[in-house]
Structure 1
Amino acid sequence: MKTLVLFSPSELSPCSYLPDRQSRSQYVDPRLWLVPEELNTLNRMGFRRSGRLVYRPQCPGCMECIPVRLYTKAFRPGRTTRRLLKRASSWQLSVTPADFSAEHYSLYERYISLRHSDGDMFPPTEKTFREFLTEDFGTTRFLNAHHQGRLIGTLVFDTFDDGLSSVYCFYDPDYEQYSVGTLLITHLTHLASALNLPFNYLGFWVKGCRKMEYKTRFSPLEWFRDGVWQPINPE
């Protein structure tokens, strides 16, 4: 494995998770093409991927972004999730390459416009879709849900030697009541288990951030603290 160059910009930016914090990330040199062995190692070290950027938070005076992963073999959906799965039993699931298509972009555009019009991903463009979701290292796939021939949700995920990694989910806001993101993560966890992969990496958990709370509804979870993966204790 080649020596990887890591760097951190000197500038700080407002934190996306906690309103009173400033953020900064550590990045792998984005000019490098990373091979699966390198991606596997970085993933186990708590790095995440956004397009070709592989990063982890390195914020001054704050360590609230904690990588978490779900142990797939012991995972059992809770009562609410089982009820949702039953309601969504007619959905058709498929895994496809992480490529640009008009169908996926139309769903992404609608999702961002209706759900995240106040965020930094608005307004949606084809350029940002490609850079964020389809520019990868050849290890990314889409888990798609169709209902009555209509694409209603897509979970972008990465593949590693010890698991799958949920990267980003976008869905039709008309299906909000189905908790599409939760269902797709559940299906991806089952897929990982069927492939004998022990983990579904869920990204960062941030205590006190409402949009991260859903991750602690999955169990059993582990988190990466002090350089070691260990059972999570959210309290």
Structure 2
Amino acid sequence: MRHTLPIAPQFYVTAPQPCPYLDGRMERKLFTALQGDSASELNDTLSKQGFRRSQNVLYRPSCSDCAACMSARIDVARFQPSRSQKRILKRNAHLKRRATSPWATEDQYDLFRRYLDGRHADGGMADMDMFEFAAMVEETPIRSRVVEYSDLTSDNPAPVAACLTDILDDGLSMVYSFFEPEMERNSPGTYLILDHIEIARELGLPYVYLGYWVPGSTKMGYKANFSGIEVFTDGRWRRLKDPKEYSSAVDPLSTEPIAEQVAKITLPGAEPAG
């Protein structure tokens, strides 16, 4: 009988390209493929180390002279809604949640297009067609859901907000959310996070992963408004301090060489560092 050892994931680095969060910066990502029978285990393990999923790829920032981007998550047990967040919950009480399998629909894509055209017309996803949207939703080797929200006051059953969500072994990862642009006055983006905190509580999961928090970025600054927020920095999760204490200044020594970064990554089955 022949025995084969599991193949360790290979890590690569993207070519530098303009940063979508901070003007005048260049971004670079460290990434690996997400595939095979151990895909879920790899996703769970690397998500705890600041990686994010995009279809069949796991990545995290590895910019040559900037370390502003930090993976963020909410400790559900420590979260307490602020007064403004309680008002947002009340303003969106007419929304009904429904979790579906990761299968793209025309209603979802139409909503996605209105969202992009209304809020991110010049963004990197602006030209996505239905086939690319379907790939974003459906090409997942792990346990994922599309969490849809419909308006109970409307006769139209089509979703008015949605989030592609991964279910990890220790939490929910909000991969991508979108909503009707005219809902903006009700802060639907914040509401989706608040509702995912509630879903995590219902499932007994300790964290909600939000993607990256970037000090100095108006696009990403709202994540610091949630109590219980943690950021992954210097190889570990730490409670977010006063956001003003974090710097987005360029520093050529802020990022370790790629080989050192990869050497410090814990893979499934290994004892976590620290």
TM-score in terms of structure 2 length:
0.81
Q: Measure how far apart 1:128 and its partner are.
A: 2.2
Check if 1:163 corresponds to 2:167. Answer: no
Q: Measure how far apart 1:84 and its partner are.
A: 1.9
- CA contact under 8 A between 2:102 and 2:138: conserved in structure 1? yes
Residue 86 of structure 1 aligns to a residue whose secondary structure is helix
Residue 151 of structure 1 aligns to a residue whose secondary structure is coil
Residue 186 of structure 1 aligns to a residue whose secondary structure is helix
Q: Measure how far apart 1:70 and its partner are.
A: 0.3
Which of 65, 69, 77 lines up with 1:61 in the alignment?
65
Check if 1:43 corresponds to 2:47. Answer: yes
Q: Which structure has the bigger radius of gyration?
A: 2
Q: Measure how far apart 1:127 and its partner are.
A: 2.2
Partner residue of 2:87?
A: 83
- CA contact under 8 A between 2:55 and 2:137: conserved in structure 1? yes
Which of 60-69 and 149-158 deviates more?
A: 149-158
After the TM superposition, which residues 76-115 of structure 1 pair with which residues of structure 2 at under 5 Å, given as runs? Answer: 76-115=80-119
Q: Measure how far apart 1:113 and its partner are.
A: 1.5
Structure 1, residues 62-85: CA drift from partner, whole Å, max 9, x if none? 111101110112212211121121
Residue 105 of structure 1 aligns to a residue whose secondary structure is helix
Check if 1:216 corresponds to 2:224. Answer: yes
Give the direction of change, closer, same or farther, for the CA distance of 1:87–1:135 in structure 2 (3 Å limit): same
- CA contact under 8 A between 1:206 and 1:212: conserved in structure 2? yes
Partner residue of 2:237?
A: 229
Q: Which runs of 5+ in 1 are unaligned?
A: none
Give the direction of change, closer, same or farther, for the CA distance of 1:32–1:55 in structure 2 (3 Å limit): farther
Q: Measure how far apart 1:132 and its partner are.
A: 2.4
Check if 1:190 corresponds to 2:198. Answer: yes
- CA contact under 8 A between 1:40 and 1:161: conserved in structure 2? yes
1:3 alignment partner AA: A
Which of 7, 17, 28 lines up with 2:32 in the alignment?
28
Residue 163 of structure 2 aligns to a residue whose secondary structure is strand
Q: Measure how far apart 1:32 and its partner are.
A: 5.4
Q: Select the structure that is richer in strand.
A: 1
Which of 6, 24, 42 lines up with 2:11 in the alignment?
6
- Cα RMSD (Å) of the superposition? 1.6
Q: State the aligned residue count.
A: 234
Which of 175, 182, 199 lines up with 2:183 in the alignment?
175
**Distance in 1 separating the partners of 2:74 and 2:35:** 31
What percent identity do the matched residue pairs reach? 34
Residue 73 of structure 1 aligns to a residue whose secondary structure is helix
- CA contact under 8 A between 2:76 and 2:208: conserved in structure 1? yes
1:201 alignment partner AA: Y
